[in-house]
Every structure is written in C-alpha cells, then in structure tokens.
Amino acid sequence: MVQAPEISLAALAPLLFVLGAACVGVLVEAFGPPEGRHRVQVAVALVGTLGGLVTSLLLAGERQVTAGGALAVDGPAVFLQATIAGLGALSVLLFAERSLDPARSAFVAAAAVPAGSPRDRELMTSSRVQTEVYPLTGFAVGGMMLFVAANDLLVMFVALEVLSLPLYLISGLARRRRLLSQEAAVKYFLLGAFASAFFLYGLALVYGATGSVRLADIRAAAAVGGTDLLLVLGLALLVVGLMFKASVAPFHAWTPDVYQGAPTPVTAFMAACTKVAAFGAILRLLYVAFGTSEWTWRPLVYGIAIVSMVVGAVLGLTQTDLKRMLAYSSIAHAGFLLTGVLGLNGGADAAGSGLGATMFYLLAYGLTTLGAFAVLTLVRDGAGEATHLSRWAGLARRSPLTAAVMALFLLALAGIPLTSGFTAKFAVFRAAIDAGAWPLVVVALLASAVAAFFYLRVIVLMYFAEPVVDGPTVGVPGLPTTIVLAVTVTATVVLGIAPGAVLDVAERAAIFVG
Amino acid sequence: MPELSPADGLIASSWLLIALPLAGAAVLLLGGRRTDRWGHLLGVATVVSAFVLGLLCTVQLDGRAVDVDLFTFVSVGSLDVRAGLLFDPLSAVFVLLITGVGALIHVYSVGYMAHDPHRRRFFAYLNLFVAAMLLLVLGDNYVALYVGWEGVGLASYLLIAFWYERPAAATAAKKAFVMNRVGDVGLALAIFVLFAQLGTVSYAGVFGSVGLLTGGTVTAIGLLLLLGACGKSGQFPLQAWLPDAMEGPTPVSALIHAATMVTAGVYLIARSAPIYDLTPAARAAVLAVGAITLTIGAVAGCAQDDVKKVLAYSTVSQIGYMFLAVGLGPIGYVAGLAHLLTHGFFKAGLFLGAGSVMHAMDDSVDMRRFGGLASRMKTTFVTFGLGYLALIGFPFLSGFYTKDAIIEAAFDRGDGWGSLLGWVAVLAAGLTAFYMTRLMLMTFAGRPRWEPGVHPHESPPVMTVPMVLLAVGSVLAGFLLVVAFPLEEWLAPVFGAPTEAEHVVAPLTVSLLVTAAMVLGVLAAWVFVGRREVPVTAPVRVSPVTRAARRALYADTVNESLFMRPGQWLTRALVFIDNRGVDGAVNGLAATLGGSSSRLGRAQTGFVRSYALSMLGGAVVVAGVLLAVTVG
C-alpha cells in the first residue's frame, strides 16, 4: 500500500495558478474561436502570472517542506517565485504588443511553414497572429517557479525540462529573420539537451553515492562522507547543468546566438526569468544539499565567477549588435551574481546577507534587463528591429525620451549610483567582502569598469553622434509595452534611490528550509 | 578682551550698517537699467545713512564691547558658527573710517564717473564693497571676518577690472585676485587650525582659550594670519599686486586700495592681539614684514612716473609702518591704528586730488607730461598740498603725530633691533619726503609739459567738496586723535589702559630726527627735480639703483622666476605626463582589452559542435577542480 504524501495546497497555490492557467490556455488554443483568441490568451496568461505573483506574495513568511519532501516553500523560494511571476507577467505584456510591428506581432504566424517559401511570404504580411506562445510561456514560468522550490533532484530535473522545452520552442518563433531564429532554437535545444544530460548524469552519481535524491538526505550524507569522489563528481556535473541555464562562462556559448536570434520579447523573458530560476536552483543546490561541504565548491565558484565576469566584460567590448551586447552583459552579470553566492557564509541555516543580496540582485537585474530589451523593440527600420549599434547614432535627437530611458537602463546595468544596479552590486560586493572574498570583489570592480565602457558607448552614440541618414524610426509603443517600460523605469529608479524596504524584504526572506 | 554686554538701543540694529549698503548693491545690480537714472544717488544715500547710524552707535558705545547676536550661520557637527556682530571701540573706529571716507568718496564718484555709461554698476560694486568691509570689521568671529575678507576681495577684483575692456585692467584684476588667494589660503588655514585645536572660531572663545595651546601651534596660527594679512594689505612678499591695482577708477584706488581694504591686514593683526601676545616669533615676523615693506615701498616710490603708482607705493610703504607698529606689540597697537586712521584721510585725499588732476589732463597719469598745474587747479593744489604735508610728517599735521608715534615706539623697544627698526623708519620718512616732493614738483610746479590739446580745468564742486573735507581731516586728524581726544583712551577697553612707557629716546629727539630727515628729503627732491627741467621722456641712462627702483626692486621678476615659471614648467610637465604616461597607459590598456576581446570572440564560431566542445572542456575543468580540492 503506497502512502499518499502530505500535500499543502495552499503552499503550492502559486504553482497551481500558473500551470493551471497554462492548461486553460491549451484548451483555449484547441477549442476557442480563432477571432479574439489572442485577447483571451493574453488575459489567461496574465491572470496566471499575476495570480502566481499575488499568491506567492501571500505566502510570505511561509516555511515548510511539502509534497512528501519534494518541494520546499521557504523564504528564498517564495521571494524568487514572486520575482519570476512578476517578470513573467511583464514578459507576457511584451509578447502581447501589437502596435509596433506592421505585421501586428513579433511572432511568426505559422511556425511550421518553411522559411522563405511563398506561403511564408504571404503570411508575413497578413495580420494573422499565433497564440500558442502564451500557454508555452505559462508552462515555462511554471517550470521556473517549480525549479526554485525543488527540494529533490528529480523534481529539479523535471522542472528544468518543463521550463526549457517551451523556451526552445518560442525561441524559434520570430516573425522576421526566421532562419536566424530557427537556428537559435536548434542550437539552444541541442546544447540544452547536452547540459541536461550533464545534470542527469550528475543526479545519477549523487544518487549512487548517497542513495537518495532528496536534498536533505544528500546534505546528511555529504556531512559524513564529504570526500566521496562519486559525490564530488556528481556535484560537478550538476553544477555544469545549472551554470548552463544561468549562462555562466564557460557554459555561455549559446547565450549570444540565442539572445540575438530569438524574438526580442522572448530574449527579454529569458534574460530576466531564466536567470532568476537558474540562480535559485544553484543557491538551493549549493547551500541546502552541499552546504556542509562548502569548502569543496567554494574555490570552483570563485574561479567560475572570475571567468564569467572577465569573459562577459571583455567580449562585450567588441560587439556591434545591441542584443549580443546585452547577452555578454548577462554573462558578466552572472559572474557578479556568483560573487553574491560566495557571500553566503555559514550555510543554509544562517541568515547570510549574501543570499538576500543575491536575491535583490536578481530582482533588480531582471527588471532592468527586461526594460532594456523592451526599448530594443521600439527602434525599428524596414527590416524589423534595428539592433545594430551604428543605427542608434544620434537617437537622442530623434527621440529624446527613448534615449533617456535606454540610458537609464544602461547606467543601471553598469552599476552607476542612484540606479538599482548600483544598490544590487553594492549589496553583493559587501556580502562577498564580509565573507573574506575581497580579491574577487577587486576583480569584479575591474570587470565592472571594463563593462561600463560598452554601456556608456551606446549612450555616447545616442547623445553625441550625428544621426544616420534614413536611420531607424522609433515606434510609438502600445499600452502593454508602455506599462512594461513604466514599471521597469520606476523600479530601476526606486530601487536605486530608496532600496531599503525591498532589501529588507529580501534579507528577511533569506533563510532556506532544511 | 572686556566682558561682552548684550546689544541695546541703536547698537542692536547695527546689522543695518551692513544691510543698508548690501541692499543698495542688490537693488542696483538686480534693478538693471531702470535704476540708471537715480542709482548713484541711492548708492550715496545708503553709505551716508550707514555713516550716521555708525556715528550714533559709537556715541552710545561708552567703552563697552557689545555683542549683537543675529542667527546661526553654520551648524555642522561640532562646528557651530553663530552670525553675530561685535561692536566695540576697535570696530567702531573702523566703521567710522569706512563709512565716513566711503561716503565722501561716493559723493566724489558722482562727479568723477558722471560720463561713464556704467556708473550704476560702479556704485553697485562700491556699495557691495562697503557692506563686505563692514562685515569684516564687525563680525564677532573669524568665519564672519573671512566672509567679509572674501567679499572685499571680490569687490576689489570687480572694481579693478571695472574697465575690463582694457587689457591692463583685466590683467591687474587677475593679478590682484590670484595674489590675494595666496594670502586667503593662509587665513583659511589659520581658521582651520583654530577650529581643530580649540573647537571654536568666535573671538571670545578663541581669545579665552588660546593660552591652552602649545607655543608652536600659536606661532603657526600667528604666521598663517600674517600671510593672510600680507596678501590683503599688499605687504612683502605679496606687495606686487597693489600698484597694478591702480588700473581701476581713481575713487576705487582711494577707497579700497588706500584708505580701507588694504588696512584690513592691520585690523586682523590688531584684532588678534591676544594670539600675538603669546608668540614673540610671529610678532617678530610681523615686524620684519613691516620694516622690509616700508623700505621697498619708499624706494620704489622714488622712481615712478605714474602719479597713481607713486601714491600706491606710498600706500605700500605706509601700511608697512602700520605693520611695524602692530608688530611692536602693546606699545605699538594704538600708534599703528592712529596712523591707519590719519593715513585713511590724507591718502584718500591725495588719490582724489590725483583723480582730479587726471580729470583735468584727459586721464593721463604721466607726471612727465604734467607741470605748472598749481595755477590752473587751485583747490586741487591746496587740498593735495595739505595731504602731501600730512603724509611727509610736516609738523603739527596728521602724519607728524602718528608717524612719529610709531618711530618712537620702535625706539622704545629698547634693544638693538628696536634702534635698527627706528633708524629704518626714519630713513624711509626721508625717502617719503623725497618722492612726495618730487611728485608735487613734477605735477604742480615748473613749466607746463602738457600733451597738445589738453586744457586743464578745475573739477566740479561735487568732486572738490569731498577733497576739501578730506584735506581738513588730513590737517586735524592727527591732533584730534593723539592730543585732543586720545585714541589711546578710546581703545583702552581693547588693548589695555595707556601706560606712560619709559622712553629710550626722548620724544622730542625723535621728532627732531624725523623732521630733519623730512627736510633732507624735500631738499634732495628740490636739488634733483625742482631745479632742473623735467625731461618729457624718462632718461634711459640711469644708475642701477634708479633702474631697480623703477622696477620696484624686481618684485615682479622675483615672482615670475620663483613662482610663475616653475609653475608653468610644472603644468607643462604634468600635461606631458598626462598625455604620454596616463593616456598612454589608458589607451594601451584599452587596446589590449579590445585585442583580447577580438581574439576571444573568434571562439564564438556559431557552430554548435565547438560550443559543445567548450562546454565539455568546462565540465572537465570543473570536475578536475572539485576532485583536486577534495583529494588535495
């Protein structure tokens, strides 16, 4: 007789909301009438993500292990779930924008039609839109929220796949430059599968070493036999799988290509939400499962953080495409986030300031990068978005407001004071210094200085260069994009000037349940 | 320092002394062209009313020191600076000098600047100056003094460059400003040290606790204050700006660069008497500065052909006398201040006379093209002549009383240094008589050497009346201040009751000595200048002494070679290091980063197989590191 596990539905409410809405989306896709389906799908996706946001906010202070020990609903899980749901809602709004592209959507009308075929050209100019992207996004968001709460390596793997598969798909759905988009999707899929294999193999090794996939059991086993080679090898492979998702160098190679090829709203979604989810899982794995063998992985993370910061900052210097530049920025930021991970001193039970700082960083970076990609969708020419750097010359004269908003996001990404980026960087660096990792912080500051060059270059180009002849036009965003920009600008400024309240919330949430 | 009494009666409103001219300046500057027609009258009115108020306050003062608390000026951490005024006998005499002479010069300026299109702006700056100068002497703490100090510096800069379209005026203003900054830094540092050591900057607080400091600190404060005083008062080694400042309109030279602002250094040292009482070393430095400057000024004055420059070097020299006096300590304070007051009268009168002459000579200042003006400009000649006699110490005129008192005090020091200083001062008195007589002879006597087309004429009454009043002051001030209403008694609450010092050399002997030196100087001038025809152009073949005196003992040359050129070399060297070293390093670093970025970027081939390979490599490294850490 199998005993049914104890399940707290209240604690699972955010997940149920998001995944339920995604299922409703599938039904709408199957049975709903074609006309007006877009509107319904947007509404369902928004209800799902916002519902997830509200219910996870209501769970604040919750601290339990449920579903037979498979899920941990604790401070970090709830904080990151709320972050993912909120950023997911903003991404859905970006997907729903219909007034920028003359073809009324950023997504291809029929993904199965071969690119460049007569039918494809015909559909290109039609106003038909496809709506599968909304339920897919819902599943991705649900998978991410599960990912950060997984207290079991198997659940973590399932969540990884639930969030990844929809992402592979929607990366290939760009309406323009379809071949580039499809190439990106295939690359992402192949490498993602490769990374998943690493993760799965690591899982198997850890199971072999400890006889369990529960994080708590692994922790107990690691405390006794921390030097077991099988266990250590398993940890290595798990880390590789997770670092891939977080686009940490040297597992970053897919990031620039996919960021560039995917439809820009999808890139925004990936840059913001996937990063949060992946780091949530990294934190939980390292601190809950391997918190007792901290000194085994610390040197490794130390080195990876440096490699990621340096690679991101240095390679970003020579990029000429804004989406690729933001991709390298994302790689560098992954390195900065790892300094926060190293700031966690004292393991899972201690209220480490590094955990709160890292979570604050994830929130701030997610909002800023989402806003930056949202601005990219505005600047267009005949062939779609004008993402080449040279096309942005003198943009401030044509559209001062757009240039100012972009400048704000770039300053925040560079970590200039009075923006959220500064507060976040300050918080993680301080945590790292408290943990004694000051040489890492020195490298991080140097990398920030190098990275500041390519952010500021865009600002210089927008404000101090002569406008290009027949340059891109700046589209007037519809309501959805306007809301996204308003929220992200406000957050970037408020978290820079008065971050106290949010930092406090992140700080208080920063305790894992064992 | 006497007990402070609370403000009462009219003195409680002594802030109006500063507020009135300040309001005048504000109205004139902000009112723009609308105030052009009556602006000068407003400017005169504010200063005249300030004078009347100052007079009434002084009458009510009765030997007290009144503290007028206004508001908290700066309150940061433990620094708490109240804005308060100190109205005591010392500030009272300065208030009367500033507003009294100031009012006369304002009136004179109405006529002098009548044809200048920017007369309103001129009066605005003059009002601003009076307000700042009054704040300087009325503040009850060093910070208020510093604000006034910088205020007069600003007004002086603006007024020297009043005709800023003339390159010489603009350059002179810049020079004055820069050299004043050197001194101002000294004053600022002195205030910093006071606050750091004593935690207060008010006169009462500082003088009450300055005795607690070590001798070295007090000496440092004294020397820093002296540096500030040297800058503002044109004393060695910062004297070179003052003669150049004559590029400003003549009333400015009279008010700011003769009668009031340049004596601020004397005020600072007299006000800080409790500090200098504790540091013989700093006091000796004051003495040395005074003695050197009075000699330099007197020597340089002998060889100038510009009428205003002669008067300017004379000012430098006379302020040197005052520094000498206050450097002597208690026996000299009153003498120095008395000389300051009488000098204020006769030097202002002399400048106004010079302005009147320039007015008549189409703004020419070259004495070699003057001559024979006595008959054409009788009022100017007589008033100027009285000022001249007062300056050279003609018996029973102002300078006679006050300069003799300083020289007496120097001899009364009683030691060898005192005698040396006394003899230097006597010698300089002779030189003073020489250069002033030379000026009189070249300007008013002899054959006219006027430029063609110049028709000298007497100035209008609005200019001559102030000259007459100042001439009366020049004649009587010494007698009044030394004999009739002794300044010594008036200032007793500040510097202590007058004591009949033991005279080393009898006062009569000193007087005879000084008078003899003066007569010799006058005779020498008659021999060298008066008997001969004055060449229209300055002779080229002259003795090395004359050449040195013409160039003011090479003060500018010294400044240029000691400070300006090394400064230029330093900036050039820094620019070179910045261009080659710093920029080179930065650009090199940027090139290195860019190059490595391109090289690393080649790994981004776009092929999934190479990406997968890089991941595999990464995974091997990760596993290797973890195993190494575990095993090792």
- Over the stretch B540-589, which tens digit does the pLDDT of each residue have? 888 888 888 888 788 888 888 888 888 899 999 999 998 888 888 888 88
Q: Give CA torsion, residues A355, A357, A360, A364, to 10 deg.
A: -130
Domain that holds residue A64: 9-509
The pLDDT of residue B290 is above 60: yes
**Percent of chain A at pLDDT above 70?**
97
Strongest mean pLDDT among A55-59, A120-124, B405-409: A55-59
**Chain B residues closer than 8 Å to A292 by CB:** none
Does the CB of B615 have a partner CB in chain A at under 8 Å?
A: yes
Interchain pair A236, B598: CB under 8 A: no
Mean pLDDT of A500-513: 88
Number of inter-chain CB pairs under 8 A, A vs B: 89
Specify the pLDDT at position A18: 95
Specify the pLDDT at position B339: 92
**Chain B residues closer than 8 Å to A299 by CB:** 625, 629
In angstroms, how far apart are the furthest CA atoms of chain A? 76
Q: Say how many domains are in chain A.
A: 1
Does the CB of B508 have a partner CB in chain A at under 8 Å?
A: no
In angstroms, how far apart are the furthest CA atoms of chain B? 114
Domain coordinates of chain B in residue numbers? 139-536, 556-601, 603-632
At residue B76 the predicted structure's pLDDT band, cuts being 50, 70 and 90, is low
The CA distance from A226 to B382, in Å, is 110
For the record, the structure tokens of B308 come out as 């205003």
Report the gap between the CA of B588 and the closest CA in chain A (Å): 13
Specify the pLDDT at position A350: 47
Residue at A143 is within a domain: yes
Does the CB of B395 have a partner CB in chain A at under 8 Å?
A: no
Mean pLDDT of A62-80: 90
**Chain B residues closer than 8 Å to A195 by CB:** 615
Residues with Cβ within 8 Å of residue A228, at least 6 apart in sequence: A209
The CA distance from A231 to A293, in Å, is 11
Angle at B278 between CA B275 and CA B282, to 5 degrees: 75
Instruction: Please give the single-letter amino acid code of residue A326.
Output: L
Residue at A336 is within a domain: yes
The pLDDT of residue B1 is above 60: no
Model pLDDT for residues B510-531, shown as the tens digit of each residue: 889 999 999 999 999 888 887 7
**Chain A residues closer than 8 Å to B601 by CB:** 315, 318
For the record, the structure tokens of B521 come out as 């100087």
Specify the pLDDT at position B36: 85
Q: Which of B124-154 are b and which e, b meaning 16 or more Cβ less than 10 Å from the residue's Cβ?
A: bbbbbbbbbbbbbbbbbbbbbbbbbbbbbbb
Side-chain-side CA neighbours of residue A397 (13 Å): 12
Which residue of B lies nearest to A250 if distances are taken between CA atoms? Answer: B618
Q: Considering chain A, what is the average pLDDT of its residues?
A: 91
The CA distance from B365 to B378, in Å, is 19
Mean pLDDT of B173-197: 92
Helix B167-198 / helix B215-233 crossing angle, nearest 10 deg: 160
The CA distance from A471 to A469, in Å, is 5
**Which range, of A64-73, A325-334, B550-559, averages the lowest pLDDT?**
B550-559
Classify residue A467 by its DSSP letter.
P
The pLDDT of residue A348 is above 70: no
Specify the pLDDT at position B447: 84
Residue at A3 is within a domain: no
Classify residue A272 by its DSSP letter.
I
Q: Give CA torsion, residues B49, B51, B55, B60, to 10 deg.
A: 60
Q: Do the Cβ atoms of A52 and A17 come closer than 8 Å?
A: yes
Strongest mean pLDDT among A118-122, B386-390, B591-595: B386-390
Q: Do the Cβ atoms of A294 and A207 come closer than 8 Å?
A: no
Ramachandran region of residue B329, left (φ > 0), alpha (ψ -120 to 50) or beta? left
Interchain pair A240, B622: CB under 8 A: yes
Residues with Cβ within 8 Å of residue B603, at least 6 apart in sequence: A253, B610, B614
The CA distance from A48 to A21, in Å, is 5
The pLDDT of residue A454 is above 50: yes
The pLDDT of residue A219 is above 80: yes
CA B7 to chain centroid, in Å, comes to 30
Does the CB of B9 have a partner CB in chain A at under 8 Å?
A: no
Please choose, from the candidates B90, B205, B93, B213, the residue with its C-alpha nearest in 3D space to the C-alpha of residue B143. Answer: B205
Does the CB of A180 have a partner CB in chain B at under 8 Å?
A: no
- Beta-carbon neighbour count of residue A501 at 10 Å? 10
Specify the pLDDT at position B67: 83
Interchain pair B611, A239: CB under 8 A: no
Specify the pLDDT at position B354: 92
Interchain pair A314, B597: CB under 8 A: yes
B594, B617, B630 ranked by CB distance to A229: nearest: B630
**Percent of chain B at pLDDT above 90?**
42
A251, A304, A316 ranked by CB distance to B615: nearest: A251
Does the CB of B544 have a partner CB in chain A at under 8 Å?
A: no
B19, with CB counted inside 10 A (0-12, 13-18, 19+), is middle
Interchain pair B608, A190: CB under 8 A: yes
Does the CB of A189 have a partner CB in chain B at under 8 Å?
A: no
Q: What is the pTM of this model?
A: 0.66
Residue at A1 is within a domain: no
Specify the pLDDT at position A510: 86
The CA distance from A392 to A400, in Å, is 12
Mean pLDDT of B117-138: 92
The pLDDT of residue A347 is above 50: no
